[in-house]
Amino acid sequence: MEIEILGSKDARTQKTVQIVKEAAGKLGVLVRIKVITNPRIISQYGMYMLPAIAINEEVKISGRIPSSSEAESMIKRNTR
């Protein structure tokens, strides 16, 4: 599974990355996390509220940092 974190090089984006990594680890799910900071790529997703999380190129969360339980649920729902 590929998870893309859309954001800038700020603390909110880094916290989002940390929460997603911890959730995947807790679930034992192998994920590839890609942090996207390029404004042109972010705008292709139509995102203006950051950070945002996309799984398999579909935006799941935008404009906020997810809770740990929310990140776990999101990963579970998208695990094949």
pLDDT digits (tens, 9 = 90+) for 10-32: 999 999 999 999 999 999 999 99
Strand partners, 53: 5, 61
CA 71 – CA 76 distance, rounded (Å): 9
Q: Considering the chain, what is the average pLDDT of its residues?
A: 94
pLDDT tens readout for residues 22-74: 999 999 999 999 999 999 999 999 878 999 999 988 999 999 999 999 999 99
Domains plus CATH for the chain? 2-73 (3.40.30.10)
Query: Which residues are CB-contacts of 17 (< 8 A; sequence separation ≥ 6)?
Result: 5, 33, 35
